[in-house]
Amino acid sequence: MTIWDVTVDLAVVGTGVAGLTAALRAAELGLRVVAVTKTTVEDGNTRCAQGGIAVVWPGPPPGDSVDAHVADTLVAGAGLCDETAVRTILAAGPAAVSELKMHGAVFDGGWADVHRTREGGHRAYRVIHAGGDATGAEIERTLAGAARSRQLMLLEGQSVSEVLRDDTGRVAGLALLDELGAGVLGARAVLLATGGLGQLYAASTNADVATGDGLALALRAGALTADLEFVQFHPTALYLGTGSRGRQPLVTEAIRGEGAVLLDIDGAPVMTGVHPLGGLAPRDVVAGAITRRMAATGTDHVLLDATHLGSAELRRRFPTVHAACASVGVDPGCEPIPVAPAAHYQCGGVVTDTSGRTTVPGLYAAGEVARTGLHGANRLASNSLLEGLVMGRRAAEAVAADFTVSRCPGPPLPSHEPRPVADRDALQQSMSAHAGIGRDSAGLAAASAVAGATTRRRIRTPHDAEDAGLTLAAAAVLAAAAARTESRGCHLRTDHPRSAERWRRSIAVVLDDDGTPVLAEPVLIGGVA
């Protein structure tokens, strides 16, 4: 086992928007920081984000405001957002985007006259974008470039198998794993910025790395998690054929923002009469309407008609979508794009305050893995890149503020306990069948049985670590989904189709002494439930 001969002040796990923003800020604050990733710095999920960053940008056209952005976020969140967190995070948006620009990010339209578009649930044009539909790629390019040019300490190709804690329960380091063996890195603080859990499902818009690692690490470290049942499905992933598995190319909502229309397989509009905002209703509403229409027409996809834009404009404004369509022989300028909902975003996660502190001393979380209270039961489109920028920075500042130069005796050795591991393929199939859009108690019980059909395995490879993480993440999501006997936001129950006032609260999940996810009372940390 390699034991690194160094104890860092902060180990950041994950190198997407939140992780790299945090690592860069921590280095600026003089902390000794290392960013750890199981693949390469550029290979995260951030690069897949298309639409943009939702931010109230000063300057013309007038009419938008942080209050209006807050109102849209609260509506999309279906009663479960924490308004204080929403306001704090959204108000910090312009400064966070300016910071990104200082690192070299280039947005469409330039700075003074930045282009703004709309996405689902936004009543104003406030989504800024880069490279047409390549906003995540531009953010990743910018932050990875800054990290490399500032010679930030980067540990690539290292999976984290455990957050190590000392005998007082405080974070003391990380257990690492690569194809060659295990290692231990001492760290006074750990920030989880590992993204989401799209790979829990058979079809997802997420990169292969999105395997719920951070959620599993936090649960095992004793952290409180909440809102796990709210897994957002993007309404329009490119349809690749019946039963298509793995990563599905995204067809950004911004295309609907530019006037594209959802039609069913017979050519009838999907969103007419469903919601006042039509095709730009919040994402849970659109994904639910598509799912119902697919069932009614006996198909597994619908159509997105963007032909009014024409091929040349689509290639210019949406080059990523255009290329994905072309790769499957679709010319979106001449014919409608076949689309279907796919797992996209984990709205809940590790409970943090608005500075990224979790319930475990020395453990912080930011970005998709965290539950700040911004998203509630359904994330407003393009609020996530903004949250990653704001919360990455804040978490680094919280680590610096909390920092005590106490003697650090070095981390304990990893536990090496075997962990329950379910079959990944069966897990993904059953989560898609029973824990997607339209759940019921029998289906959730069936999925729980698959997640519970485990063998105990020593974690020897990064793939083992992912499998164990997926198994635990599935069990935690299913526990929360089974408990919430109502429909709200992304959690649509066919056996409980309405919202119930008594469920207007978060469900929290922790691990019991046997390592099983159980429901807990949400606790207040730093004023955030």
Instruction: Report, as residue numbers or ranges, the catalytic residues.
Output: 283
If the CB atoms of residues 322 and 493 are measured against ligand SIN, the closer one turns out to be 322
Q: What share of the chain is helix, strand, coil (3-state, %, to 5)?
A: 35, 20, 45
User: Residue 108, SS3?
Assistant: coil
CA distance 37 to 195: 11
CA distance 21 to 482: 36
In the complex, least distance from residue 506 CB atom to ligand SIN, rounded to whole angstroms: 21
For residue 523, report the phi and psi dihedrals to the nearest 5 degrees. Answer: -110, 160
Query: Cα Rg for the chain, rounded, in angstroms?
Result: 22
Q: Could you say which of 248, 382, 448, 454 contacts ligand SIN (CB under 6 A)?
A: 382
In the complex, least distance from residue 231 CB atom to ligand SIN, rounded to whole angstroms: 13
Residue 384 interacting with ligand SIN (CB under 6 A): yes
Of the candidates 72, 105, 104, the one whose C-alpha atom is nearest the C-alpha of residue 86 is 72
If the CB atoms of residues 107 and 364 are measured against ligand SIN, the closer one turns out to be 107
Stretch that binds ligand SIN, among 69-77, 380-388, 439-447, 470-478 (CB under 6 A): 380-388
User: Residue 525, SS3?
Assistant: strand
In the complex, least distance from residue 251 CB atom to ligand SIN, rounded to whole angstroms: 8
| Count of residues of this chain found to bind ligand SIN when the rule CB under 6 A is applied | 12
If the CB atoms of residues 54 and 294 are measured against ligand SIN, the closer one turns out to be 54
CA distance 173 to 274: 50
In the complex, least distance from residue 53 CB atom to ligand SIN, rounded to whole angstroms: 9
Cis peptide before 269 (omega within 30 of 0): no
CA distance 350 to 214: 8
Q: What six digits make up the tokens of 90?
A: 């959204």
Distance between start and end Cα atoms, the chain: 40
Q: What six digits make up the tokens of 27?
A: 């280095």
CA distance 487 to 278: 21
CA distance 119 to 408: 48
If the CB atoms of residues 116 and 496 are measured against ligand SIN, the closer one turns out to be 116
Stretch that binds ligand SIN, among 43-51, 96-104, 432-440, 468-476 (CB under 6 A): 43-51
Burial class (CB in 10 A: 0-12, 13-18, 19+), 514: exposed
CA distance 91 to 452: 43
Site string for ligand SIN, 90-129 (x = CB under 6 A): -----------------------------x----------
Q: Could you say which of 18, 381, 478, 481 contacts ligand SIN (CB under 6 A)?
A: 381
CA distance 485 to 497: 9
CA distance 143 to 149: 10
Site string for ligand SIN, 45-84 (x = CB under 6 A): ----xxx---------------------------------
In the complex, least distance from residue 374 CB atom to ligand SIN, rounded to whole angstroms: 12
| Residues 322-351 close enough to bind ligand SIN by CB under 6 A | 345
In the complex, least distance from residue 119 CB atom to ligand SIN, rounded to whole angstroms: 6
Task: Provide the angle, in degrees to the nearest 10, between the axes of the packed helices 17-28 and 383-402.
Answer: 30
If the CB atoms of residues 138 and 253 are measured against ligand SIN, the closer one turns out to be 253
Site string for ligand SIN, 244-283 (x = CB under 6 A): ------x-xxx-----------------------------
Q: What six digits make up the tokens of 101?
A: 């620009």
Residue nearest to ligand SIN (CB): 51
The residues, ordered by sequence, that sit 6+ positions from 449 with a Cβ below 8 Å of its Cβ are none
If the CB atoms of residues 213 and 253 are measured against ligand SIN, the closer one turns out to be 253
Residue 204 interacting with ligand SIN (CB under 6 A): no
In the complex, least distance from residue 255 CB atom to ligand SIN, rounded to whole angstroms: 8
If the CB atoms of residues 51 and 198 are measured against ligand SIN, the closer one turns out to be 51
In the complex, least distance from residue 284 CB atom to ligand SIN, rounded to whole angstroms: 12
If the CB atoms of residues 155 and 250 are measured against ligand SIN, the closer one turns out to be 250
Residues that bind ligand SIN (CB under 6 A): 49-51, 119, 250, 252-254, 345, 381-382, 384
